């Protein structure tokens, strides 16, 4: 389906995003989205790249994440406010825009709270394709909030992970996660400590929300041959891993200028060597080259991932029209006569 009026912008609400995801199927949505992300990372050089523009406050952060491949422009507005959970609100909310570079006209406006959770999980699983040890089937998830089920589902869909070990300081969060994943083909163990959760895990995902320097994993908890998917540390002053773990790991990041400020590697010297994910995908740098190696994906989220998600949703709307038509763009009869358009509306209103 196409939208005949170019001045009408398709808007995907939360309700329509849920319908779109369910109609496509969560597993297929994640695997297809992962393919879009990998495709865009493989053409890394085409993109404008800049660290996200962040406005920090005592309560949280509000960020803009823009990029363009020269044909399309996309940005996401996203916040991170850990205290919101105590008030019954989401810690992270977001919306995004995809636009045509040639005209500057927006082509899509969409919610991105659900979509961000999906793209974050898809990106984690894509990275693990290159970094996780061979034969991995068990993942520990430390932090069982809003992102945990998406991470588990993506790792099962892309890598076949079917054994989960869950831990959260709030036991009800782990029970929630286990209940949501019931019947999805997982063997799930709820653990009493983070140490218990990581025992026997081939992949360790840390995805906590508190905005603080934390040590969710200490050095003695991490043995050789594991892959760490560090998702929770995503702003200055917020980390999850003990520094010594980083010093033992082969570290892969999305975009170093952003990750050095926001990721786990903010604990290291500015010249500490890291590998970029796009380099691993294109064979320009090794991923995992030793089964005893510790690999670490220091994920903070990057604008190209959101661009991929926006592009994917736009493409799905062509055959699955789960959107509303938004009258967002002024369309005067003569482009220079914007005031005349206002006068004509006044005449209509008084007629």
* Residue 249 lies in domain: 127-302
pLDDT at 3: 47
Tens digit of each residue's pLDDT, the chain (351 residues): 444 466 789 999 999 999 999 999 999 999 999 999 999 999 999 999 999 999 989 888 899 999 999 999 999 999 988 889 889 998 889 999 999 999 999 999 999 999 999 999 999 999 999 999 999 999 999 999 999 999 999 999 999 999 999 999 999 999 999 999 999 999 999 999 999 999 999 999 999 866 666 788 999 999 999 999 999 877 788 899 999 999 999 999 999 999 999 999 999 999 999 999 999 999 999 999 899 999 999 999 999 999 999 999 999 999 999 999 999 998 888 989 999 999 999 999 987
Which CATH number covers residue 308? 3.30.1780.10
- Mean residue pLDDT across the chain: 94
Shared-domain flag, residues 132 and 241 = yes
Shared-domain flag, residues 181 and 323 = no
Shared-domain flag, residues 166 and 282 = yes
Q: Is 165 inside any structural domain?
A: yes
Shared-domain flag, residues 169 and 102 = no
Which CATH number covers residue 267? 3.40.50.720
Q: What is the pLDDT of residues 230-287, one digit of tens each?
A: 998 777 888 999 999 999 999 999 999 999 999 999 999 999 999 999 999 999 999 9
What gap in Å lies between CA 129 and CA 38, rounded to an integer? Answer: 11
Q: Are 260 and 51 in contact (CB under 8 A)?
A: no
Collapsing DSSP to helix, strand or coil, 265 comes out as helix
Q: What are the two backbone dihedrals, phi and then psi, of residue 325, each rounded to the nearest 5 degrees?
A: -90, 120
On the 0-12 / 13-18 / 19+ scale of CB atoms within 10 A, 37 is buried
Count of the separate structural domains present in the chain? 2
| In 195-302, beta strands by DSSP E | 203-206, 213-217, 227-230, 239-241, 249-253, 275-276, 294-298
| Residue bearing tokens 């975009």 | 255
In terms of phi and psi (left: phi > 0; alpha: psi -120 to 50; beta: otherwise), the region of 87 is alpha
Q: Is 18 inside any structural domain?
A: yes
Collapsing DSSP to helix, strand or coil, 243 comes out as helix
Shared-domain flag, residues 187 and 251 = yes
Q: Are 20 and 322 in contact (CB under 8 A)?
A: yes
Q: What is the pLDDT of residues 95-105, one digit of tens each?
A: 999 999 999 99
Q: What is the pLDDT of residues 23-43, one digit of tens each?
A: 999 999 999 999 999 999 999
Please report which residue ranges of the chain form alpha helices under DSSP H.
14-24, 26-41, 113-131, 148-159, 171-180, 194-198, 243-247, 256-262, 277-281, 303-317, 338-350
What gap in Å lies between CA 12 and CA 271, rounded to an integer? Answer: 42
Shared-domain flag, residues 260 and 318 = no
Q: How many CB atoms lie within 10 A of CB 111?
A: 20
What gap in Å lies between CA 340 and CA 250, rounded to an integer? Answer: 62
Question: Which tokens is 308 given?
Answer: 């991929």
Question: Which tokens is 159 given?
Answer: 């890598």
Of 18, 29, 129, 40, the residue nearest 308 (C-alpha): 40
pLDDT at 212: 66
What gap in Å lies between CA 252 and CA 340, rounded to an integer? Answer: 56
Q: Are 288 and 250 in contact (CB under 8 A)?
A: yes
Question: Which tokens is 179 given?
Answer: 């209940």
Shared-domain flag, residues 180 and 85 = no
Catalytic residues: 234
Q: What are the two backbone dihedrals, phi and then psi, of residue 175, each rounded to the nearest 5 degrees?
A: -65, -40
DSSP state for residue 24 in the 8-state scheme:
H
């Amino acid at each position: 389906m196409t939208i005949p009026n170019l001045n009408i912008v398709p808007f995907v609400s939360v309700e329509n995003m849920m319908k779109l995801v369910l109609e496509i199927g969560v597993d297929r949505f994640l695997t297809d989205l992962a393919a879009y992300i990998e495709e865009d990372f493989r053409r890394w050089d085409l993109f404008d790249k800049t660290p996200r523009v962040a406005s920090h406050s005592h309560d949280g952060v509000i960020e803009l994440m823009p990029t363009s491949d020269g044909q399309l422009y996309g940005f996401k507005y996203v916040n991170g406010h850990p205290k919101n959970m105590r008030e019954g609100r989401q810690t992270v909310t977001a919306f995004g825009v995809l636009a045509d570079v040639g005209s500057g006209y927006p082509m899509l406006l969409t919610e991105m709270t659900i979509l961000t959770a999906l793209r974050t999980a898809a990106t984690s699983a894509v990275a693990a394709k290159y970094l996780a040890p061979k034969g991995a089937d068990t993942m520990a998830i430390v932090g069982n909030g809003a992102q945990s089920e998406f991470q588990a589902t993506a790792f099962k869909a892309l890598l076949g992970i079917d054994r989960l070990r869950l831990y959260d300081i709030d036991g009800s969060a782990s029970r929630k996660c286990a209940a949501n994943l019931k019947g999805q083909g997982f063997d799930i163990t709820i653990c009493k400590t983070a140490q218990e959760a990581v025992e026997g895990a081939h992949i360790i995902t840390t995805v906590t929300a508190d905005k603080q320097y934390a040590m969710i994993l200490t050095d003695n908890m991490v043995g050789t041959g594991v892959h760490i998917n560090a998702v929770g540390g995503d702003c200055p002053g917020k980390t999850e891993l003990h520094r010594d773990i980083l010093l033992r790991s082969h570290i892969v990041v999305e975009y170093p200028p952003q990750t050095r400020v926001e990721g786990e590697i903010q604990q290291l010297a500015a010249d500490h060597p890291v590998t970029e994910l796009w380099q691993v995908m294109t064979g320009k740098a090794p991923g995992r080259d030793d089964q005893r190696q510790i690999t670490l994906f220091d994920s903070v989220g990057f604008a190209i991932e959101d661009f991929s998600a926006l592009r994917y949703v736009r493409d799905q709307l062509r055959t699955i029209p789960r959107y509303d038509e938004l009258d967002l763009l002024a369309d005067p009869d003569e482009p220079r006569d914007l005031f005349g358009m206002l006068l004509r509306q006044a005449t209509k209103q008084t007629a």
